[in-house]
Structure formats: C-alpha cells, structure tokens
Structure 1
Amino acid sequence: MRKWFKRISPDREVLLANRWLRPIAHRLSHPEIWHFNRRNVARGVALGLFVGFVLPLGQIVVAALLAATARGNLLVAAAATLVTNPLTFPPIYYAAYRTGSFLIGSAGESPQANRAHTGAMMEALTSASLPTLVGLLLFAIVSAAAGFALVHLGWRFSLARQWRRRMQSGAVDSYQDGKD
C-alpha cells in the first residue's frame, strides 16, 4: 500500500514550485511531512480523520496545514479527509444527529422541516444543529484516536510479519553467518 500511495502522490518539488503554494512553501519544504514512517503516517491519519468529520468544507486544505504544523504526513492527512465524501456524507450526518440527540437527551425531539414559514425552518435547523455538532465531535475524536492506534498496530504487525518471513527464509541466519 505504501508503494502504491507513493507512486500516485504528486512530486514534492512540483508542489513546492506551484505559484499558489509559494506563500507557504517554507512550511511544505520540511522533509518530515513527506516521509512515510509510523509516526508521521499515524499523525496524518488522525489529523485527516478529525478534520474530515469536523469540517464540511475545506477539509483537505485545513488537514494539510495542520499536518505541516504537527509534522504529520501531508498526503496521508489529505487523503484521510475523504472519509466524508458525497456518498458517506448523509449517513454520517444522520448518525451524528442521532448520536448527539442521544447524548444530550433530546432523542424524542425531531426537527420538523415540513412547516411553511421560514421561522419554523430556522427553528428546526437550530434544534438539529447542536445534536449534530455533538455527534460529529464525538465521531471526530473517536475516529482520530482509533486511526492513530490502528496505524501503529498495523505497522507493528507488518514489521513482525516481515521478520517472520525473513526468519523462515533463512536470510537472517546467512547474514549472521557472514558476520562471524
């Protein structure tokens, strides 16, 4: 997966030469935000998931700026925001509304958007916005923590599997025999 992601990602020098990115190019030139290691990828996933759930618009830009500031992987942070896309947006926001309504105790109240005048529509939107915001914040925090932990666990299991394969193939034994 790492090789595929590196192959499809844009070249760092091309991005830094872009005239629109010149004002922040000094932030983007730091090599740590372009490396694919366990810590940077985990930070990028956590930041991208958090921003993806909290912000409905401008997610990729904000996640990239946060990743540059927190030294997370910039490309992974931008890609992780795509958890909320046009296909997943309605079910996520509905689930956030239901979860938030349950948490703040207004599960019995449902917004009545069928009324004719604007005052009732605004009242319905404001009554739905607080539970939705609470639900989205909960989703953002839980998904960021879970994404961070899963990247660390997945990376560790991947390394353990690689070591097992090396041990089974005898590559480590032949290396140690050559050193003696």
Structure 2
Amino acid sequence: MKTREALFQKWWIRPFAHLLGHPSLWHLNRRSLPRGVALGLFVGFLIPFGQFALAALLAVPFRANVPTAASATLVTNPLTFAPIYFAAFKVGGMLPIAAFGSGAADADWLSAFLHASGATAVGLLIFAVVFATLGYAISALFWRFRLAKRWSRRPAAAERLTQTI
C-alpha cells in the first residue's frame, strides 16, 4: 500500500484530498478499525466485483480505516468465492422465497435461474450482515484486549524505570 502523501500526489486524487485528510481514515484507533473491518466484510460478501475500490470509497463517509476496509474485502478471493456462494445459495434456499418468473411453461429454466439467483442474493445479504457484525465485535474486543494488556504492563515498566534511575 502506498503512503498517504504519495497517494495524494496523484492527479485524480488531488481534487478529493480534502475529503481524504481525516486522520481516522489512515490511522488505526478504537473506532476506525472495527468500522473498517465491518465495512470491508459487508462489501466483500455483497459485491462480487470492484470490492476493493468500493470499500475504500465507502470508508470516507463512515470514517473507517481505508486500508483495513479495502483489505477486509479479500475475504472473498478466487479460493473462497465458490464455497461462499454455494453456502449462500444453501442458506438462502432454506428461507421461503417466492419464485420469480412469468410462470410460462417454456420459461421454467428462467424461473429456476431467477429463484436460484434470489436465494443466493438473500444468502449473501445474510452473510454480509452477520459477518460484518461479527467482524466489528471481534475487532473491537481485540482492540480492547490489546489496550488492557498494555495498561496492565505499564506499572511494572514504570517501576523498573524508577529502580534503574
């Protein structure tokens, strides 16, 4: 990933540099990290192409960390694409979805295709919401755990410092 300054020097980014200057977009903190993870997972599951760019663009209004949002979309990659879509089809197929189509006898294949597409879309929406929520919660808990661990070590480090002086 390029540095922030190198990115701002691009001719197509310069007009939007004032929008991209907010510190939460580039620094990890307790709010921007979980937002970035949730946003990236949501876009990664829901959008089949252009995920990286869309997650980075959506990170701006949500004040999510841009690199985290973009990299979280990699949950769907060439190795995981087929299993995720198959599982989404199965999950969406369990729900009572009205069959789409005209009902004509020669359009049975079209009706079956639209029903399968609808089931997959519903399954992907369920996955996007569930995994974005879990990603937000897990990354927020990770941040909190990491901070608590640092704070617990702090008195010992301060005590060692005073003993050496």
| TM-score range for the pair, normalised by the shorter chain length | 0.7 to 0.9
Q: Which of 4, 15, 38 does residue 7 from structure 2 map onto?
A: 15
Q: Which of 49, 62, 79 does residue 54 from structure 2 map onto?
A: 62
Structure 2: distance between partners of 1:171 and 1:129: 58
Kept in 2: contact 1:42–1:149 (CA 8 A):
yes
Residue 82 of structure 2: SS of its match in structure 1?
Answer: helix
Unaligned segments of structure 1, at least 5 residues:
1-8, 110-117
Structure 2: distance between partners of 1:130 and 1:90: 17
Q: Which of 136, 147, 165 does residue 159 from structure 1 map onto?
A: 147
Normalized against structure 2, the TM-score is what? Answer: 0.85
Shift of 1:40: 0.3
Q: Which of 99, 111, 130 does residue 123 from structure 1 map onto?
A: 111
Aligned partner of 1:80 in structure 2 is 72
Kept in 2: contact 1:104–1:131 (CA 8 A):
no
Shift of 1:166: 3.3
Residue 24 and residue 119 in structure 1: after superposition, are their counterparts in 2 closer, same or farther (change >3 A)? farther
Kept in 2: contact 1:45–1:80 (CA 8 A):
yes
Aligned partner of 1:115 in structure 2 is none
Number of residue pairs the alignment of both structures matches: 158
Aligned partner of 1:171 in structure 2 is 157
Question: How high is the sequence identity, in percent, across the aligned residues?
Answer: 51
Residue 27 of structure 1: SS of its match in structure 2?
Answer: coil
Q: Which of 148, 151, 170 does residue 136 from structure 2 map onto?
A: 148
Letter in structure 2 aligned against 1:51: V
Pairing 1:39–2:48 present: no
Shift of 1:165: 3.1
Structure 2: distance between partners of 1:41 and 1:88: 23
Q: CA RMSD in A?
A: 2.3
